[in-house]
Structure 1
């Protein structure tokens, strides 16, 4: 999955690179607000479990595949489930941070766009966490699912009653999946490699991991996808004009095509100016 790093054509990243200090302060501030918001949503154990029953029953009513199908594949060997737990624990934040750093250094305009989209999705997710606390499937006995992180390790969560660092009743929407999908979409839009569509493997693997480890329901990923879709519709990437069909073609290629078309117009304009300078009757 090679994100080619040719210099961006003129006009594709016209926005100057934002101040690094300002960006660091902004990201840190947003992170603190989010963590504080998640803490406000803690302590709703009864409501979170009731909502978990509702989500589980809704998934069965609409005949979504059982989360246990994915988990059974992971439980074929201790090594595979350990890898899945490690992916859940170690990839989420570093992958998103690396994505933003790369955009900041190589595609400043796309960085500003991606940061705004991620902030919008995360803010909307926080509101849903407050309004709809949801226990993950690993806490719901009727699912029959194993808490793979607790049994096989590694785990990023402590006991819900004593875990003061995270809100374990914030399953919907899944920011693990929402952020992973945005990383893939952002790299597809901002790069021009023919292999860039392989970045979709990241959200696909993330989806299998969050479901197979019993940390999320299918509906958590579906709601995250919907929120991201709304954010992408409202916050367009550089080079895309509202009212025109939105494509995931690279804006760099679009800019190159525009320059070639402009180059074809130059000889025509030059010929027209030459004809204007010819005296009337000179060709007779």
Structure 2
């Protein structure tokens, strides 16, 4: 039996099941630690699907609280949106203008983009997580942590920096593509009570659409072996950037903000992982840490 190093008299790890013939310890489903560490290790080695779903609902509940708790921010949101637009115009970065004009003059493409905006965001992201959970379980914990932290950071951005999207600036020549193509699909017209009930109309900065799409694209490219799927994964974020700007739901700087948010989410997840590995290294035999790492728990 291999034991932990001075974690306490009753803090022993039972790794006898599946141990190698050469005496190398093995971490199996029978790993037992007393106290909090056992719960953490069991969760990291094999995350429970019901807990993952509950966590997603929890994050959505927080989003709903933020959405419903932000009042009287319209003036600030329009001021922030105008500042972004002016800054982009000053440096020739208002790409959303040309893309929005293109969609406004090509109804068929506009309808496709509206469908993409209203659907893929809520299909590809959970689908990617389920695929990771089932097919690449070892990588699920870290990658899902990146997504969770990215989303939480975006929620902070929505609360502290309410921003009106380009489609709300009629005087700037923008056309609300989602409203224009509303008869083609199931989505409510922007700015109506039905739309306000399912989304924060002033949550343009950062673009969570782009952060999630980039996350999915990177994960798909990294872990799929199918070349066609890999190409589709690489193109998905690019399509999303085009759609969110073309429909006038986001500025170019919103897209950049989404990418920066994802990067910070990755850095925070990596730092948490390093801290957890350092904790394990202090309390567990190196061979156990290696095997936990192989299972995605370290």
Matches within 5 A, 1:34-45: 34-45=63-74
User: Are 2:62 and 1:33 aligned?
Assistant: yes
**2:282 match:** none
**2:214 match:** 181
Matches within 5 A, 1:1-284: 16-153=45-182, 154=185, 155-159=187-191, 163-195=196-228, 196-236=230-270
Q: Could you say what secondary structure the match of 2:127 adopts? A: helix
**Cα distance, 1:91–1:198 mapped onto 2, change above 3 Å:** closer
**Cα distance, 1:158–1:69 mapped onto 2, change above 3 Å:** closer
**1:265 match:** none
Q: TM-score, normalised by structure 1?
A: 0.73
**2:11 match:** none
Q: TM-score, normalised by structure 2?
A: 0.70
The Cα shift of 1:66 comes to: 3.3
**Cα distance, 1:184–1:48 mapped onto 2, change above 3 Å:** same
Cα deviation digits, residues 149-203 of structure 1 (max 9, x gap): 1112243454356723321001000101110000011122223445525412101
| CA distance, structure 1, for counterparts of residue 260 and residue 68 of structure 2 | 24
Question: Is 2:149–2:268's contact at 8 Å kept on the other side of the alignment?
Answer: no
**Cα distance, 1:17–1:187 mapped onto 2, change above 3 Å:** farther
**1:267 match:** none
**Cα distance, 1:55–1:21 mapped onto 2, change above 3 Å:** same
Cα deviation digits, residues 33-76 of structure 1 (max 9, x gap): 12212222244111111111101001112221431211222233
Number of aligned residue pairs: give it: 230
Cα deviation digits, residues 100-157 of structure 1 (max 9, x gap): 1111111113221221111111111111111111000000133201011111224345
**Cα distance, 1:36–1:157 mapped onto 2, change above 3 Å:** farther
Superposition RMSD in Å? 2.8
